[in-house]
Amino acid sequence: MTSSADLAGDFLAYSLAGARPATPAAARGVGAHGLRWQWLDDGILLLEPANVTPATRSVLLSAGIHGDETAPIEMLSRLVADLAAGRAALACRVLVVLGNLDAMRAAKRYLDDDLNRLFGAHAQRATRAPGRETPRAAVLEAAAERFFAAASGAAASGAGAPLTRWHLDLHTAIRASAFEQFALLPHTSNPGEHANGNAPARAIFDWLADARIAAVLIHTEPGVTYSAFTADRCGALACTLELGKVRPFGQNDLARFASADAALRRLVAGEVASPGASESSPMPRVFTVIGQITKQSDAFALNVAADVPNFTPFARGTVLAEDGAYRYVVQHEEERIVFPNPGVKPGLRAGLLVVETTRETLAALR
Ligand SMILES: [Zn+2]
């Protein structure tokens, strides 16, 4: 019922319909300028330029890890159509991943478990649950590992290799934020990623500036997100992007995403972002995680408004949370709260605290 043209021409509709290629031949196609595409699994599509060289970047672009975060899903589907039709240029291997298709069909963030808490060894120990998202996490992990294993320079470990491997995981946030669009950089123990004393790579900051991302949050502990997995396991320059507010399919103002969309298209076209802080695209401000609020029991009280925007600053001495004998008191001159959520189960994180580290982080970029 669905032709192969629809597959690349409207990858979102094809995937939401649960369509699958009828034959192995129907899973592959050739687009404009010799572009080759290959359907690999539900919501997973490989795109390669006609010529792949050792310098060719491999870029994993994922969206819909949370099913109701529709704008970036639509953005990626349009990018696939434009690449296949030659309306956008392709100079990279690109793996497009639409994450939680079941949740997208239900217009929900997730069905049983938050998919973006189920990735990697840390999740397998701590939080991997037997719900409907668990097998999908395994599929997406395997897809990323296969994609990056076949990447140029796969045999080369060490300096240089990580720069050819990128993963941008696109989200939209539920709550308001002092910075409407921001990025989360995972902590990683990958030695290639940390060649310069844990300093993040300048390349990703240049790209974030090009995308007009206002702020970057740097995690300091292992994560259970898709980008944490690809950074740690695949040596990718990886980040999670929060690109604005959640809305239903068709109700997104994609103009708000124009800067990120344009930067994404420049990345896959092989254009290099202009380095450093220019007047037109200043470097993002940087915040580093320095602590978290942990819910101890059902007596937990978070002393901030339920709808407090992400990155809201609090002064030293502010008691942000109380729970029996436990108190979280702001220790730094200023700390900002991110992802506050008093509704989590006891024992889990009810909010992250960050401090600004813009000057030292940007000075140390490798
Ligand atoms: Zn999300």
Largest CA distance in the chain: 65
Instruction: Give 177 Cα–ligand 1 centroid separation in angstroms.
Output: 14
Catalytic site residue from 242, 333, 335, 360? 242
DSSP 8-state code for residue 115: G
- Whether residue 42 is predicted with pLDDT greater than 90 in this model: the reply is yes
Stretch among 159-168, 318-327, 353-362 having the lowest mean pLDDT: 159-168
pLDDT reading at 249 higher than 60: yes
74 is in an annotated binding site: no
pLDDT one-digit tens code per residue, 198-208: 568 889 999 99
Q: Quick one: average pLDDT of 309-336?
A: 96
Active site residue 271: no
Residue 202: CB atoms within 10 Å: 17
Mean pLDDT across 212-228 = 94
User: Would you say residue 40 has pLDDT above 90?
Assistant: yes
Per-residue model confidence as pLDDT tens digits over 51-70: 998 889 999 999 999 999 99
Percent of the chain with pLDDT over 90: 69
Domain boundaries in the chain?
A: 4-268, 289-364
Amino acid at 100: N
Which range among 162-171, 269-278, 343-352 shows the weakest confidence by mean pLDDT?
Answer: 269-278
Going by pLDDT thresholds of 50, 70 and 90, the confidence category of residue 188 is: confident
Residue 194 is labelled as binding a ligand: no
The CA angle 13-18-20, to the nearest 5 degrees, is 100
Per-residue pLDDT at 279:
58
What does the angle CA 92 – CA 93 – CA 97 come to, to the nearest 5 degrees?
A: 120
Q: Which two tokens stand for residue 89?
A: 């240029």
Q: How much distance in Å is there from the Cα of 61 to the middle of ligand 1?
A: 14
Rounded to an integer, the average pLDDT of 167-187 is 92
Give the range with max mean pLDDT: 25-29, 110-114, 346-350: 25-29
Question: How far apart (Å, rounded) are the C-alpha atoms in residues 79 and 88?
Answer: 7
**CB atoms closer than 10 angstroms to residue 152:** 18
- CA angle centred on 188, ends 186 and 193, rounded to 5°: 105
Same CATH fold, 289-364 and 4-268?
Answer: no
Supply φ then ψ for residue 31, to 5 degrees.
-110, -160
pLDDT of residue 198: 58
CA 63 to ligand 1 centroid distance, Å: 8
CATH of domain 289-364: 2.40.50.630
* Separation of CA 171 and ligand 1 centre (Å): 4
66 labeled part of a ligand binding site: yes
CATH of 4-268, one of 3.40.50.620, 3.40.630.10, 3.40.50.720, 1.10.3720.10: 3.40.630.10
Q: Measure 151 CA to ligand 1 centroid, in angstroms.
A: 27
Q: What is the mean pLDDT of residues 170-199?
A: 76
